[in-house]
Amino acid sequence: MATYRDLPSVDALLRHPRVQADRGAGSQARLVTAARQALGEARAALGQGRPAPTAEALAERLLALAAAERAPYLRPLINASGVILQTNLGRAPLSAAALEAMTLVAAGYSNLEYDLERGARGSRQAGIAHLIPAVTGAAAGFAVNNNASAVLLSLAGLAAGKDVLVSRGQLVEIGGGFRIPDVLRQSGAHLVEVGTTNRTYGRDFAAAITPATAAILRVHPSNFVQQGFTHQPDLAELAELAHRHGVLLIDDLGSGALLDTAIAGIAHEPTVQESVAAGADLVCFSGDKLLGGPQSGLLAGRADLLALLAQHPLARAVRLDKLGLAALEATLRHYLLDEATDALPIWRMLLRRPDEIADQAAAWTERLREAGVPARVVAGESTVGGGSLPGETLPTALVQLSPPAVETLARALRTGNPAIIGRIHHEALLLDPRTVAAEEEGALLGRLVVLWGEQQNGSGSPAPVV
């Protein structure tokens, strides 16, 4: 029976021919760390009564640990979950034009803050300053690194030390613990709660306005829906009220829709253009949700207000980097050129026809069955996600697999190369073609076949490739 004495020393393991032959395994310091980790795992196995690994197995484990350290943490994956704007998976995939713009800017120097015409310092907002008004109808536009920053900058720059009125029904928390009351506190503004949780009226805001009031903040509920005995004043009513009393109306719109989501057969999501037309002085919204661009926060509204915010010290702290600016400019141009529904992956996914997805699911199923994987097509629903259109779904067709150990298969898919994300429901693995790009199909199906074969025979022997 193997004992701890049977394990090699760190030096002996590092001298193993397999380790010596792999010249690209990493630095000596990293190899030493990996050797100690591999030996630590072996000692733990012995302590649990399991056999000690062979010297060859230890050498392979050392090299695997060293390789894992060199691999980047962030990597692409295949989203087969059917959640279109999956926050944990990076939300909106970018268009080909946005990717090209980022690559061109990243490869060398750029005119990020340089005016080529004047030969002098310029503004990093120059490339998008005219595009935001062009696509929203606002007088001016500004971009920061996310919508939370847009809201924070707006409140800090326009309402610090003063009162901001918010309906109690809109004091929301969104993903990551982002709470509206906390943002107000950080901005230096004073929160004044108005109305009740389920019903707030224009007269409630009117009664709460005092000489200390700077603004009314309307917050889009984003990731939840109030139903039943509820009421909120519409934006036009709030705009008339705010302007009559000489205070600002700031609309935290959240999702950043520039197109009517009703064209996809789902509920209408308020658009930025509607907020601007209703009279909001400032509209804050996301660039990486329904807008379909990079992570960013956009502000659209009065030119005098945005000029003030551009000079605020916080504007530098939350500014958008050159890659984000390049991608955002390309994304906004899709809307300007009326090509967003064709160019942006988010809108292509939203507008896919159920019969087209059903045909794709059937083709996947046939290829899997030919390779020995008993898949079948079932009806299901895709979700918009990303804090947009809560409760709204799109009809889809799902590929269903029922392996003996569904969690094991799902984990193997997640941790493999490429990483594949599906969803588990009633002990079955479900894959939604809606969110899988055509160029990803071969890798997804091939990986499924290999893992299915390994799970069935437990040997890890190669399976046929589709």
Prediction pTM value? 0.87
Helices assigned H by DSSP within 8-109: 10-14, 17-21, 28-47, 55-70, 96-106
Query: How far is residue 11's CA from residue 107's CA, in Å, rounded to a whole number?
Result: 42
Query: How far is residue 244's CA from residue 140's CA, in Å, rounded to a whole number?
Result: 23
pLDDT at position 466: 37
Spatial CA neighbour of 255 closest among 146, 140, 397: 146
pLDDT in tens, 354-365: 999 999 999 999
DSSP state of 199: B
pLDDT in tens, 70-119: 778 888 999 999 999 998 999 999 999 999 999 999 999 999 999 999 99
Mean of all residue pLDDT scores within the chain: 91
Query: How far is residue 68's CA from residue 439's CA, in Å, rounded to a whole number?
Result: 26
Greater confidence (404 vs 3) lies with: 404
Per DSSP, the three-state class of 72 is: coil
Greater confidence (45 vs 211) lies with: 211
- Helix 322-336 and helix 96-106: axis angle, to 10°? 150
User: Predicted confidence band at 223 (pLDDT cuts at 50, 70, 90)?
Assistant: low
Spatial CA neighbour of 258 closest among 434, 93, 101, 388: 388
Token pair listed for 142: 């500004």
User: Predicted confidence band at 465 (pLDDT cuts at 50, 70, 90)?
Assistant: very low
pLDDT at position 68: 79
Per DSSP, the three-state class of 284 is: strand
Greater confidence (69 vs 400) lies with: 400
Query: How far is residue 387's CA from residue 384's CA, in Å, rounded to a whole number?
Result: 8
pLDDT above 90 as % of the chain: 74
- Helix 441-457 and helix 354-370: axis angle, to 10°? 40
Give mean pLDDT, residues 312-331: 97
Domains contained in the chain, CATH given: 6-70 (no CATH), 77-87+348-457 (3.90.1150.110), 94-339 (3.40.640.10)
Question: For 348, left (φ over 0), alpha (ψ -120 to 50), or beta?
Answer: alpha
Greater confidence (6 vs 350) lies with: 350
pLDDT in tens, 163-218: 999 999 888 876 666 788 888 899 999 999 999 989 999 999 999 999 999 999 99
pLDDT at position 176: 63
pLDDT above 70 as % of the chain: 95
Of 114-118, 122-126, 147-151, 180-184, which gets the smallest average pLDDT?
180-184
Q: Who's near 320: CB < 8 A, 6+ residues apart?
A: 124, 143, 144, 145, 296, 328
Token pair listed for 339: 């090509």
Query: How far is residue 444's CA from residue 422's CA, in Å, rounded to a whole number?
Result: 11
Chain-centre distance of CA 300, in angstroms? 22
pLDDT at position 229: 81
